[in-house]
Structure 1
Amino acid sequence: MLLQHAEPTTADASATQSDIPAYAWVVCALTVGLLLSDYMSRQVLNAVFPFIKSAWNLSDTKLGSLSSVVALMVGVLTFPLSVLADRWGRVKSIVLMAALWSLATLGCAISSTYGEMLLARACVGIGEAAYGSVGIALVLSIFPPRLRATLTATFMAGGAFGSVMGMALGGAVANSLGWRWSFGAMACVGIALVVIYRLVVTEKRLALLQPVIAGQKSNLGVRMSFRALMKGLFSTKSVVCAYVGSGMHLLVPAAVWSWMPSFLNRYYGMAPGKAAVHGAVFVLVTGLGMIACGSLSDHLNRKGVQRKWLTAIVYCLLCSVLLGIAFHLPPGGLQLFLIGCGMFFCAGATGPSGAMVANLTPPSIHASAFATLTLANNLLGLAPAAILTGIVADRIGLVGALQLVPLAPLLAAVAFAIGRCSYKRDLDLVNALREKATL
C-alpha cells in the first residue's frame, strides 16, 4: 500500500524558522539560481523576436514555434527523465541538465538558419525537461510541509524572474552587440552556475538534512513498480484536477510573455530593445504575484483545508476578467495598467496547485509527481501558448489573438472547482491509508 502525505498538521504549522538549517537555504538559493538560468535561456528568444523576424523573414507561426518547441520537449520528456532522476540521483541529474541547456543555448548563438535554431531550441528543451520537477522536489525534501505553497510559488516565480532577466538583458545585449551575443551571454551564466552548484551541493549533505526537518523521514531511495507509481500519482480526483487546472491557467503567462515585446513593438511603436525591457516588467509582475499569491494561500490554509482551491479559483477569475478587459481597450496607459494587474494573478494558482500535488502524493515520488504536474503545465499551457497565439495572429492580428487568451483561466477555474468538491473526501481517504499503512 502506498503511503500518502496529507495536509500539514497544526503542530507542523506552528513550527518556527529555527528548525531549518542554513544549508537548506543555500541549496534553495542555488537551485532557484539555476532555475533563473533555465528561464533566461528559454525566454531570451522573446527579446530578439523582432531581430530574428527581420534577419530571416520569418512568419509569426515560425517565431512561435521557436518558443513552443522548448515547452513541447519539456512536456514530452519531463516524466521519463524525472523518474530516472528519482532513481539515479537528483543532484547529478540537475547538473547534467543545466550543462545541456547552457551548451544548447550557445548553439542558438551560432545558428545560421531557422532549421538550425529550431534544433538548438529543441536541445534547450531537452536539457530543461525535468529541471522544474526535480528541482522543486529536491527543495521540498529539505523543508517542512508548512511551507509548501510558499516554496512552490517562490521556486516557480524564479521562472518569471529568469524570464525578466533573459528578456531585459537579452534586449540590451542585442541592441549593443547583436542578437547572437544575447544567447551567448545566457549560456555563460548557465555554465558558471553549473560549476558552483556541482561544488556546493551533494547528495550526501542533502541526506543529512532530511531526517532533521520537522521530524520528516526520507524515503527517497524507495523503489516501486510502475503500477504502484501510477497509483501514487493519480490516486484521487482532486490531484488530477490540480494537474489539469495548473496546466490550463499557465497558458496566459506563456502567451503574454512570448508576445508582449512584439505587442509593444507593433502597437506602441517601441524599438525592439525598449519593447523587450518594458515587456520584462510584466514578467516581473507575474513573478511577484506568484510569490504573494502562494504566501496568501499558505496563510489562509491554516483556517481551512479547502482554502487553497478557493484561492486558486479566485486568482484564475481575476486574471480572466482583467486581461479580457485590457486587450479590448485601445493602446494607452489604462490598457497597460490592466494588463499588469491581470499578469499579477495570471500564475497565482501555481503555488496552491503545487502544494495540492505534494500533499496528495508520497515524498518518495515527489520528483515524479512534479514531473506529472510539469507535463500538464507544458502540454496544456506552456507548449501550445506561443505557437497557437502566433497561428491566430497570422489570421486576425496579434491583438485579436491576445483577446482570446483570457479564456484559458476560465477553464482552469472549472477544473479547480471540481477538485475542491472532492478534496476533503480525498484527504480523509489519504489519512485512512496512512493509518492503515502504519498499523
Structure 2
Amino acid sequence: MASERSPNVYGGPPPQSDLRLVLLGRVGAGKSTVAKTILGRDNFRSEGGMCVKKQGEVAGRTVTVVDTPGWDTVKRTSTHIKKEIKNSVTLCPPGPNALLLVVPMGELLSSTDRKAIQYHVELLSVRAWKFTMVLFVSEAEEKCTSIEQNQLIDRAKSLLVKCGDRHHLLECGNSPSQIPELLKKIDAMVAENCEEFFIPQVYYELMETTMPREVTELRRMYEDREDRLKQKFKRELKEKEEELKKYKEEKPKEGLMKRTSSSQLLPPSMSTEKQDRSVMADNRNVDLQAVKQGYREETLSVVGHYVKPLIMIMTAVVGALMGAVAGAQHGTLGACIGIPIGIIMAVLVSYAVRGAATAARDIPITVKFEENESHRREEGADFFFDSPKSKGFDKDQ
C-alpha cells in the first residue's frame, strides 16, 4: 500500500486545508473509477482485497483518497474484508473528513442490498452516518434521465435519511468541472459537522478508556444536550411551519383591495364595526325624521284647531261687508239681504279652499310617512315612532 502524490491537475487558488476521503461500496460499484476521476489520474489500481491510498493536488488543495475492497452480501463477506473496512479510516490520520458511499446509477437497491450497505457502513460504528455522503455514479456514455435519477433516489430514501439526505450525482470520465462541485458539497458537510472529522473506533475506544471519568461523562452530557437541542429546534420549527400553513389557509381568499366600498377597505373587524355604526346612524336619522314629522303634524293640528274658527269669522265678516256694499245700490233692503248672502258665499268658498288645500297637503305627507315607516321596518330599527295623529289630519277639527 503506497502513498503517491500528483501535481495539481485542475489549477486553482493556493493550497487550502487538506481533505481526506474514504470510498465505500459493494464489489464492482466503481470506487476505483471515482478515485481516478477525483484525482485526475489513470494509474489508480485496486490491489485485490486490500485498501489503497493515493494523494493528489485538486483545486489547489491536497486530497487523500482511500479505496476500500468491495463487499458482498452480509453472509458472504469475509472476515478479512471486514477488517480492511475497519482499518481504512486509520490510513488517513487523524481521520477522514468524509465517507463516500458509492452507488451505481443502475443499482436496484433491493432490501438485501440496503441491509448489506447498512451493515458494512456500521462496521465503522453508527457515528459513521454523520460523515457519510451517498455518491450516485454513472459512466459518461451512460446518460440517465431525470426520471431514472429520481427513481434511484426514492429507492435509496432509507439510506439518505441516515446520512442527512446528503448525496451527489457524478458522471465518471466526464469533464473535471464536476469535481469542484463535489468538493463544495463535502466542505459544506464538514462545516455542518463543525470542522470535525471521523475518529476511528479504535481511537474512540482508547480515548474513552484513558480519559478521566469526569471528562467522559461531561462529553456524553454535551452530546446528549446537543441532541436534545436539535430535537427541540426541529420540533419548534415544525410547529411554526404548521402555524404559518394554518394561517395561510384561514386567510380570506379575496384581498382587502378588492372591496368595493371605502368601509370595506378596512380590516374585517374594523369594517364590520363601521358598518354597524353606519346602520345605527341611519336608524337614528330615520327616527329623528319621524319625530320631526310628528311634531310638525301636531303643530299643524293645533294651529288648525284655533285658527280655523278665526278664519271662518273673518271670512263671514268680509262676506257680510261685500254683500252690504253690493246690496246698498238697491237701498236698505238690498243691503240687509246682501249681508247673509255674502256670509253664506264666503263660508262656502272658505270650505272649498280648505278642503282642496287639505287634500293636497295630506297626499305627500302620507306617502312620505309610509315610505319612512316601511324603510325603518325593513332595516329593523330598534326605535319606532307611531303616532295616531301621523296618519293624516282630522278634517273635523
- TM-score computed with the length of structure 1 as normaliser: 0.20
| Structure showing greater relative contact order (alpha-carbon pairs closer than 8 Å, 6 or more residues apart) | 1
The structure in which a higher percent of residues are strand is 2
Bigger radius of gyration among the two: 2
The structure in which a higher percent of residues are helix is 1
- TM-score computed with the length of structure 2 as normaliser: 0.22
